[in-house]
Amino acid sequence: MVEKTKQEKKAKSPGFMQWVLVIGIPLIFAIILAFIIFSFMGIDVIAKTKDAANQIPFLSSVVTTDEEQEVEREEEKVETQLSEKDAEIETLQTEVSNHEQTIDELNQEIVKLTNQTEDTSDEEVETEGEVQENEEESENLDKLTKSYEEMDPESAAPILSNVERDLATAILQQMKDEERGEVLSAMDAEVAAELTQLLLE
């Protein structure tokens, strides 16, 4: 009898599944209904739920609000921008280094070309000076030769005999053949022979 009563009590006491069916399903239905009603009323239920959960100490570390998510997104965006700027800075530093190297090479080339130009200018000046000097000497020699040609052979012979041999030879070379012969004839025989020898060299 006692055992029968215990079994009847067990049979009559509601089980866990019965509690779920009686309380859980209506509760879920009520939550869904409330969500739909609040959504129609324009209330953001999810945001409100997050705000409420964020106020609870042990849930605040798990649940993130829209503001916190926005802050996190901004932080990620800033970090990405900083990374991009760092990469740009490195690229620009590399370019600057390359440009500095190119500038150094160009400066060395400029110095080299400047030195070559100066050397060439010095050579040109020296050459121009020599040419000008030679032209002046030639003009002077022409004038002297003309002066001796205008003299009488008897007057020109003693003067040329006392002039430096190289200059006398140069003047005689410039003179016409006939006049040269007359001047040499009027000279002392030894001097005439010496100048003739120089004229032949």
- Residue 139 phi/psi, 5° resolution? -60, -45
Asked if residues 192 and 200 have their Cβ atoms less than 8 Å apart, the reply is no
pLDDT at 56: 62
pLDDT at 23: 79
The more confident residue out of 144 and 127 is 144
Q: Distance (Å, rounded) from C-alpha 181 to C-alpha 149?
A: 11
Instruction: Tell me the average pLDDT of the chain.
Output: 77
Cα dihedral across residues 67, 72, 75, 80: positive or negative:
negative
Asked if residues 135 and 162 have their Cβ atoms less than 8 Å apart, the reply is no
Looking at the chain, how many residues does it have? 201
Q: Distance (Å, rounded) from C-alpha 197 to C-alpha 178?
A: 18
Residue range 181-193: average pLDDT? 86
Asked if residues 143 and 169 have their Cβ atoms less than 8 Å apart, the reply is no
In terms of pTM, does the model score above 0.75? no
Q: Predicted confidence band at 2 (pLDDT cuts at 50, 70, 90)?
A: very low
Q: Distance (Å, rounded) from C-alpha 90 to C-alpha 111?
A: 32
- The tens digit of pLDDT for each residue in 88-140 reads 899 999 888 888 888 888 888 888 888 887 777 666 666 665 667 777 777 88
pLDDT over threshold 70, residue 50:
no
The more confident residue out of 154 and 3 is 154
- Percentage of the chain modeled with pLDDT above 90: 0
pLDDT over threshold 80, residue 152:
yes
pLDDT at 1: 46
Residue range 3-10: average pLDDT? 50
The more confident residue out of 93 and 6 is 93
